[in-house]
Amino acid sequence: MSIKTFQPLHLLERWVQENNELVNKWKQVGGGDTLGRDQSQTHLRCCSSEFHKLLMKIQGIPPLADHTQLELTVVYNACVCFTAQSQFSEAELLLTQSTERVLQVHSTSTEDDPAASDPHLFWRTVLKSVGNTALAPCVLRLLCLQWAIWLSTCQLKTIQEFQNELMSVFERLSTEVWDKGRKSSDDPLLVMDPRKLVELLQICTYIAQGAESLSEGQSSEALSALHTASSLPAPRTLIAYTHLLSGSCLAHMGRPQMALQCYRKALETDRRCLCALYRSMLIYRQLGNTQAEIQALRLLHSTLMLPSATEPPLAGTPLLSPSLLLCSQSLSSMLSVPSALSILHNLALKCVLHGRVSEGVEYYLDLLAALQSEDQHGMHAGSPPLPRLPELYLQAGAALLMAQRPADCVALCDEVITTTLELLPERVVLEEPDEECEAGSRALSGGGEDRVGMLLWTAAAYLLHGHCNTHLKDWKQAVTHYARCFNLLVKVRLKKRGFQPQIPSADMVGKQGTDLCILQRLKGLSLAGRGISFTQTDQLREALRDLQLSLQAFPECATAGLWCGEVLWRLGRRREAAACWENTWSFTPQSSEESLSVYLHEPQSGPQLDSMELRRRIQELGPLL
């Protein structure tokens, strides 16, 4: 009789000891910094397996009130391990089985009851059955884990429907219910403090809900949730996220200055919050503050290149981390930052376009060097794609020419020509742009080659080569390279729906940045360059022909317009010249050059005409009829 009396107690003590040994083993080995990520995951799998084995032993006998607390503690430990490995279905199965056993202990049946299929009703039934008994803290811990699973699987509507019960969990675990559940130091240990978990769940829920509201355009509602979250106890990275998302709300509400203040708070709270710096850069761009934008780009790039920038930004608990809980698509897009190389490209281009050419050239050269090296530091999945390598070579070449380094520009152009020239087809048919397609998008051939792109890149390389010859006053070579550019471009035919392919013209150009727009622009610039070169060798009639053809292909070309007037003046057709100049000055460009690749801009090197001198000539000529 005495053996039967003491055996359950002996089993209970042995199971508690086994649980505590597993918890201590995790905290000493897996929960610290002694293991790498892979080793830690392996140890976590081992612990979850051992907790599960222990749970099967405990559940091998009918549920008894004496050891239900131990059983629920082991369930909690096992489910924490499963959840940490994103094994959510396994964790939810254990939670359901264990809570059903709790209801059996309290003689509450769920058979043929709607509570069994309704998670909200089911959990309310369980909470009501335990009331304020000693099992209440154990059940609340399990509800915390259910909350974590809902959050990790982006079931925000489910959380919102159960919000009142979930938010009361924190209060109950922080006061007398928690103290009632911890009676002695011999109680079974937990792998994770549930009060810390609830604090984490609270702020992560507010952040996730705020991000979701923001993505749905409900900025005011999101701002309210994020304001509440910012005052909660939490890791500084999460507090920084509340400031970041608040800034995004204010930006959507048309309050850029207030948004900048929130982004600054985010950076002051956690300097690793690079998305705040990136969002600040976008605000500076919106406000037209180019110098601040460049400074933000430079700081963002230098920070991304630091080794620490590649580490996970969230330093959470050893098991359930914020990164596991904050995984919604809307939040991920708001927290995303382009790669270091993408930022470097933006920095190079912005410097070149805004008068800081020497800096821009160095950034372009750094970018090309990084792309050619095996270690492309800072590239990561999900980043905006960089332009193709020939495109980058051409952009860098144009920047080098602007910095008066024509020899280096020629070297890059030759690289593009060597790479693409042999792949060019005899004829290229350009399909009429689809209005639904984005500007700059191209269809690939059956073999995957970008045939139109290769032809345009090669033509652009010859164009830049001609610009370099012009800069060096080698007019003969300039004419040769401009002619090679133009001769490639005339291979392209435009196929409009229902018509035969035909030679494109300026009136067919649609959206800025499309292949057709680039084609016509290259035609205009190559003809203008050749015409200007002819003027330097006094071949005025050839020059006039090319300059007029240039204006037909690219009416916005101011350089062609001014030089066309100059040639007319030299040919004695002064009234026509004056009219040509006046028309050029009065022409309003339909689009900004900044939206185009830098090599498509009108060259700033080579022979230039003084507008003041041209206006003086017109005044001396007298009023135009």
- Give the end of a domain, one of 192, 220, 245: 192
- Give the end of a domain, one of 137, 168, 192: 192
DSSP-based three-state secondary structure for 495: strand
Instruction: Report, as an integer, the average pLDDT of 310-315.
Output: 45
Residue 247's pLDDT band (cuts 50, 70, 90)? very high
- Give the end of a domain, one of 168, 192, 216: 192
- Residue reference for tokens 């040919």: 571
Contact 511/433 with Cβ under 8 angstroms? yes
What sign does the CA torsion over 137, 98, 196, 244 have?
A: negative
State the Cα–Cα distance between residues 336 and 303, nearest whole angstrom: 15
State the Cα–Cα distance between residues 156 and 56, nearest whole angstrom: 32
State the Cα–Cα distance between residues 562 and 14, nearest whole angstrom: 96
Beta strands 428-431 and 492-495 are parallel
State the Cα–Cα distance between residues 363 and 297, nearest whole angstrom: 12
How many of the other CB atoms lie within 10 Å of CB of 586? 7
Residue 432's pLDDT band (cuts 50, 70, 90)? low
Contact 529/486 with Cβ under 8 angstroms? no
Residue 439: per-residue pLDDT: 42
CA distances 81 to 28, 87, 190, 598, Å, are: 16, 9, 11, 54
Q: The CATH number of the domain where 597 resides is what? A: 1.25.40.10
Residue 108's pLDDT band (cuts 50, 70, 90)? low
| Residue 111 falls inside a structural domain | no
Q: Which residues contact 480 (CB under 8 A, 6 or more apart)?
A: 466, 469
Question: 186-190, 248-252, 369-373, 476-480: which range is least confident on average?
Answer: 186-190
| Residue 269 falls inside a structural domain | no
| Residue 366 falls inside a structural domain | no
Q: What is the DSSP string of 112-161?
A: T-GGGT-HHHHHHHHHHHHTTSTTHHHHHHHHHHHHHHHHHTT-HHHHHH
Residue 38: per-residue pLDDT: 58
Residue 262's pLDDT band (cuts 50, 70, 90)? very high
Per-residue model confidence as pLDDT tens digits over 338-391: 999 999 999 999 999 999 999 999 999 999 999 988 555 545 545 568 899 999
Of 531 and 41, more confident: 531
| Residue 591 falls inside a structural domain | yes
Q: Is the pLDDT of residue 207 over 80?
A: yes
Q: How many domains does the chain have?
A: 2
Write phi, then psi, for 431 (nearest 5 degrees): -70, 150
Residue 313: per-residue pLDDT: 45
The angle subtended at Cα 433 by Cα 427 and Cα 439, nearest 5°, is: 110
Highest mean pLDDT among 40-49, 121-130, 503-512, 589-598: 121-130
Per the structure, the complete domain to which residue 584 belongs is given by 411-432+450-496+511-624
Q: What is the DSSP string of 261-277?
A: HHHHHHHHH-TT-HHHH
